[in-house]
Amino acid sequence: MTLDTFIDALPKVELHVHLIGSASVATVLELSRRHPGSRVPTAEEELRRFYTFSDFPHFARVYKAVNGLVTEPEDVATLVLGLARDLAPQGCRYVELQVTPFAHHVVGMPMREVTEALDLAARRSLTEHGVEMAYIFDIPGEYGEEAARITLEHALQEPPAALVGFGIGGIEQERVKYTDAYRSAFSAARAAGLHSVPHGGEMSGPETVWETIEGYGAERIGHGINCLQDDRLVAYLRETQLPLDVCPTSNLCTGQIASIEEHPLPRMLEEGLYVTLNSDDPPMFATTLAGEYRVAANVFGFGRTELAQLARNGVRASYLGEDAKAALLAEIDDLVTHG
């Protein structure tokens, strides 16, 4: 078995991927043809050119344009099912998908209808593609108190059956304007039994990671790559083994690192930190979940042992049931032994 074949066969989970950012060309074509009056191309060749990013502002425009296609609950379900279809051939068995209820609220979608679409899509993802879908509701961090309130209300009043977590994304530097609102929202979500999985330390420094820990009660952190700037934080993360969901290609495409070779993932592992490997917004960054494992192999020189350990880390850091975790871990061990 070649390393490429091993990567494809390796059972995986995806813990950091966004609903809008997961939309592949095939899925966006379905949506753009459903809503032909949008700015998004309805011809495949033209759409592929549209998806070829020249810089980060271009990415932001494309993301906004695709988001503008999601105006009905059916569109939400289409995105979820498209992601399951795309992940299944990559050996992915389980996903914790980041959904931003506020984005659906502002275009007038009722909470109940969004939840029904998410529930339907989760059932079909499992039966049609063999991918178990869970959800994380996240606050867009630059939108303040209203976004926090709407996200929390949806999570507490009309949660999808597979809702497991509560998060926050968006522009990290904007969060300091709304510290009390965000801390309060996370406190209420945790009290209701949701896991705290905020972004932190992606586009800002260690202070944001500390805020996710001390202010939001983080149980797992999205990105966290700038933790290495603070020795005390590194020591804390090493001691607690608080998982960090790392997305190398995303960090390159958004300008957080100068080159993929400079990504801190290898050093994070050398420091004894708990790292999982994920794709973030895969089609928009011209990557896949399996592609991130190939980056780890081809750029960082990881072999089967290291790649299998990253896959195990993802399983253990997930909110899958214990029996399902044990079964996936056994599959990974079997592949390593007999693959």
Point out the catalytic residue in the list 132, 202, 211, 292: 202
Model confidence over 130-180: pLDDT tens digits?
Answer: 999 999 999 999 999 999 999 999 999 999 999 999 999 999 999 999 999
Residue 155: its H or E element: helix 144-157
Q: Check if 202 is active-site.
A: yes
pLDDT(57) > 90: no
What are phi and psi for residue 104, nearest 5 degrees?
-80, -35
Token pair 């991130």 in the structure block, residue? 292
pLDDT(274) > 70: yes
Q: What one-character-per-residue DSSP string does 293-333 give? A: HHHHHHTT---HHHHHHHHHHHHHHS---HHHHHHHHHHHH
Classify the C-alpha dihedral 77-79-84-86 as positive or negative.
Answer: positive
pLDDT confidence of residue 38? 82
pLDDT(53) > 80: no
pLDDT band (50, 70, 90) for residue 50: confident
pLDDT(54) > 70: no
Can you tell me the mean pLDDT for 91-116?
96
Model confidence over 184-202: pLDDT tens digits?
Answer: 999 999 999 999 999 999 9
144: left (phi over 0), alpha (psi -120 to 50) or beta: left
Can you tell me the mean pLDDT for 271-300?
96
pLDDT confidence of residue 180? 97
Which domains, and CATH codes, for the chain?
Answer: 3-338 (3.20.20.140)
Proportion of the chain in helix, strand, coil states, percent, rounded to 5: 60, 15, 30
Flag the least confident range among 51-55, 97-101, 107-111, 169-173: 51-55
- CA angle at 264 for the pair 262 and 266, rounded to the nearest 5°: 105
What residues are paired with 280 via a beta bridge?
17
Can you tell me the mean pLDDT for 19-44?
90
Q: What is the mean pLDDT of the chain?
A: 95
Model confidence over 5-27: pLDDT tens digits?
Answer: 999 999 999 999 999 999 999 99
Rounded to whole angstroms, how far apart are CA atoms 318 and 276? 10
